[in-house]
Structures are given as structure tokens and as C-alpha cells.
Amino acid sequence: MGHGHQIEIVQEQFTIPSKAKTFAIIVGVLGLILSGIGMATIDKTPVAGAHESHAQTEMKGHEEHATAAGSHEMHANSGETHVEGNFGHRASYEKQNKPWTTRIWTSLLIASYYLFIVSLAALFFIVVQYIANAGWSAAIKRVPEAIATFIPVAFIILLAVIVVAKNDIYHWVHYEHLHAAKGSAEYDTILAGKSWFLNSTMFFAFPIVLVTLWVLIGRKLRKLSIQEDSAEKGETKFHKKSIRWSAGFAVLYGFLFSVVVWYFVMSIDAHWYSTIFGVYNFAIGWVSALTIICLFVIFLKSQGFLKIVSDEHVHDLGKFMFAFSIFWAYIWVSQYLLIWYAHIPEEMAYYQIRYEEYKPYFIANITLNFFTPFLVLMMRNAKRNKMVLTIAGSLMITGKFIDIWLMVIPGVYGPGMNIGFLEAGAFLTLVGVFIYWVLVALTKRGLVPVNHPFIEESAHHDVGV
């Protein structure tokens, strides 16, 4: 785009093309079909001893640790393995039969959680642009706004799953019901120490209050954006108010997003913890949101909309996809290497089961989430090629799904599980709903924020090359 070239900024009203509507419906219906096949073919026998297997994996690390340091006493009692000391007694509440329906709930948990953190990250994208006074992104602002409207939908689905199946997904709930006294055989030092935070009341209250605040701030920002659309040209008061509200959201999101992640995902492995688990999950949502924003922008461009969006905007989104894939890999390596080097049994167990029992998914996670975007999007032309971005983006979304699946399933079932029709079906069903929802949200507003203070700057976006 040359310097001084005049660009006419006009409002555009999006209507959903029939092919796009059909695509969203097909994805959703395909998901339902796969889910139906999964439910029809799944083994209905309750899964017994899955956590026992997981515990046995953890015991390997403890046995090595006990042999080396002599700090743990191992003993057998009626065929059950116990660990004395810091790790605590687990067999009495972990060896629970899992009803086959738990497979449905974990599949919905994974899909809804993924779309929840993606939608939150889309709102964070808007917030960051306001705080940074960024001009380049004004032309694509409507896309993350539409994605962010899905936050309450994903959260309600996630919350419903947890209400129905928390007893089967979160083993700490069983311990909570035991009310074990200190010194008793059932007493667990670690879970007892976390009980002030990890209990059913806090588990529901804290995320509900926090997400409600996030949604309300998101709606406030959307309302200010609507008011800006109808304001006089050059009016900046709504933009300035948006910056202030964005600053408030950034503080709440930056400091407290980790808490929601700790409850919904990390507490599945309640004896394990990571101090950067929240940052890791932020990286998943952030990379995915950037990718999905890029895919929607490419789609809208292909339909003749967003005329003021140039290859430079698409290139910027491609650079973000590339850069933050490396950021994801950095956080992944930081968490993995520290645990590997420290060789602490309570921490090792998390990766031991995922590497030894889920190696194909472990490798696929790294390949799709780092090597694919790194190698494919390294070249400048690749980041400007819409087909390459679409293919790479689709693979990255698949990789992030596998990433979350790996965080959830081993902690619920232990070893021996695979991604099947049910998991793929639940994910595609919610993705179909998500696509249709965002498309409808895009029709509610003009696609171009014509009164945004930086819309001219965005339209004339030029990197000088």
C-alpha cells in the first residue's frame, strides 16, 4: 500500500452467506453424528481402577525417591499401594468406578473450556489494543468483538458439565466428602492443606463472580463501541472511556485468570501444581484467539467485506500467530524442564504418565503447536498467503485441542485412553455452534468502526516495504 493513497472508508453490513451458514451447520451436525457413534460404541462398563493406575505411575517416582533418600515408607495393605509422608493416602477415594457417561462430560469439558479461554482471549485482544493505543487493528475490531460474545455461552456449558459430573472428574471432591481427621488412614496432607481454597463452595463461587465481572466489562466495552459508532466524527470521549475500562479488565484478567484455570483444569490433578500453569493456559487461549481472528478476517475478505483490510493486516496477524506459538513453546519448555531437572516425585508424576502412556499425543502436541507454525510461518510470504494461513491455523487449532485433552484425560482416567468419536464429536459440535454464533454476532453491527479515532491510520496501514 503506497504512502498518500486515498482510501474511502465506508460502512459495511455483513450478511451470512448461505455457504458459511451451511458449513457451520455441517460441522455441528457432523459433531453430533460422531458423538452419537461414540456413545453407541463406547464400552458401557464402568472404568474401575483408572486412578489406581495413575497412582501407580506416581508411585514409581516415589519409589525411586524413597530408595534414594529414604524419606518415604511404602507398604502394601489388601492389594492397595499407600504412600506415607507428604503425598498422603489416596486409594480410598481414587479407586472409584467411573460411569461411562463421564466420557461424555469430559469431552464437553474439554471443548467448552477451550472455547471459553479463546473467547476470553479475544476480549483481551480488544483490551490490549485500547491500552496500547494501537491503530493498525481498528479495521478488524469487529471480529474479536463478535468472538468475545461467546464467553457466557461457553462458560454456561462448562459450568453445567461441572455441576453434573464434578464427582467423577475431580477426585478431590471424594476426599472432601470423607471429612478425614488428621492422623486417620484417609487423611491426605496435601489436599487438607489446599482445602481452604479447593472446596466445592469456592470452586463454584469464585469463577462465577469473576467471569460475571469479565462479561459485564466486555458488554460495557461493546456498549461504548456502539455509542462511538453513532457519535459525531472526531468524538473521542467513548474511546477514552474504553481505555479506562480496558485497564480494569486487564488487571482482573491478568491476575485472576490463573485462579479459574487452577479450579477447572489443574485441580483435576489435585496433588500436582505448577506456578506457571495459568500463563501456559493463557498462551493456549491467546494463540488460538489470534488464529481464529485471522481465519475470520480471511473469510470476510474472501466474501468481499473488510475492504480497508489489506495484506499488511493479514501479515500482522500471521506474525502474531508465529511469534506467540514460540511463546507457547517457551512456556511449555519452561514448565517441563524445571520439573524434569528437579526430579521431585509429586511433580514428575504429571509428565511421567503423559510421556509414557500418551506418547503419540505428547509428540503431536509439540509438533502441531510449535514445529508446524514455526516451520510453515517462518517465511514472510507464508504469513501473507491466505491459504497457507488457513491450513496452518487449522492444524494449530487441532493441536491446541490435543493440548487441553492431554491436560484433562490422564488426570481423570489415568493411562489407556484415546481420542475417539465422542471427543472429536463433542468438539466439532461446539465448534459448529461457535462458528454460527460468531457469524450471527457479526451481522449485529457494521463491520467497519467508522468513528474509531484510529480508523484512518488502520486503513492506511503501511509498513513502508
pLDDT per residue as tens digits for the range 162-182? 999 999 999 899 888 888 888
What b/e sequence results for 377-407 when a residue is b if at least 16 CB atoms lie within 10 Å of its CB, and e otherwise? beeeebbebbebbbebbebbbbbbbbbbbbb
Which amino acid is it at 69?
Answer: A
Averaged pLDDT score across all residues of the chain: 87
Taking the CB of residue 334, how many other CB atoms lie within 10 A of it?
14
Cβ pair 21, 443 in contact under 8 A: no
If one counts the domains in the chain, the total is: 1
Give φ, ψ of 75 to 5 degrees.
-150, 155
Over the Cα atoms of the chain, what is R_g?
A: 24
What pLDDT, on a 0 to 100 scale, did the predictor assign at position 340? 87
Q: pLDDT by residue (tens digit) across 13-29? A: 999 999 999 999 999 99
Q: How far apart are CA 251 and CA 210, in angstroms?
A: 12
Q: Quick check: is 10 in a domain?
A: no
Cell of 209: 463472580
3 pLDDT above the threshold of 70: no
Supply 362's cell numbers.
505428547
- pLDDT score recorded for residue 50: 42
Is 93 in contact with 174 (CB distance < 8 Å)?
yes
Q: Is position 246 within any domain?
A: yes
Instruction: Look at residue 267 in the predicted model and tell me its pLDDT.
Output: 94
Statement: the pTM of the whole predicted model exceeds 0.75: yes
- Whether the CB-CB separation of 287 and 400 falls below 8 Å is answered with yes
pLDDT tier for residue 92 given thresholds of 50, 70 and 90? very low
pLDDT band at 123 (very low <50, low <70, confident <90, very high): very high
DSSP letter at 93 equals: H
pLDDT of amino acid 60? 43
Q: Which domain does 133 fall in, by range? A: 18-459
> What would the mean pLDDT of 365-392 be, rounded to a whole number?
96
Q: Give yes or no for a contact between 396 and 321, defined as CB atoms under 8 angstroms apart.
A: yes
**Quick check: is 4 in a domain?**
no
Is residue 55 domain-resident? yes
Flag whether 280 is in a domain: yes
Taking the C-alpha atoms of residue 440 and residue 433, their distance in angstroms, rounded to an integer, is 11
DSSP 258-290: HHHHHHHTGGGGTT---TTHHHHHHHHHHHHHH
Burial class (CB in 10 A: 0-12, 13-18, 19+), 460: buried
Percentage of residues of the chain with pLDDT beyond 90: 72
Residue 417: per-residue pLDDT: 92
Residue 421 sits at φ, ψ, to 5 deg, of -60, -40
Instruction: Report in angstroms the alpha-carbon separations of 166 from 32, 54, 322.
Output: 23, 18, 37
The confidence band for 47, taking pLDDT boundaries of 50, 70 and 90, is: low
Q: Determine, yes or no, domain membership for 254.
A: yes
235 grid coordinates: 468524538
What is the rounded distance in angstroms from the CA atom of residue 368 to the CA atom of residue 329?
Answer: 11
Q: Is the pLDDT of residue 272 over 70?
A: yes
In this predicted structure, which of 79-93, 198-212, 416-430 has the lowest mean pLDDT? Answer: 79-93
Q: Determine, yes or no, domain membership for 38.
A: yes
Closest CA to 453 of 242, 300, 310: 242
Question: What is the average pLDDT across 173-199?
Answer: 87
Domain membership flag for residue 464: no
Task: Count CB neighbours of 458 within 10 A.
Answer: 25
Q: How far is the C-alpha of 414 from the C-alpha of 334, rounded, in Å?
A: 24
Q: Are 449 and 142 in contact (CB under 8 A)?
A: yes
Confidence class of residue 99 from pLDDT cuts 50, 70 and 90? confident
Question: Which has the closest alpha carbon to 386: 400, 129, 394?
Answer: 394
Residue with the bigger pLDDT between 324 and 91: it is: 324
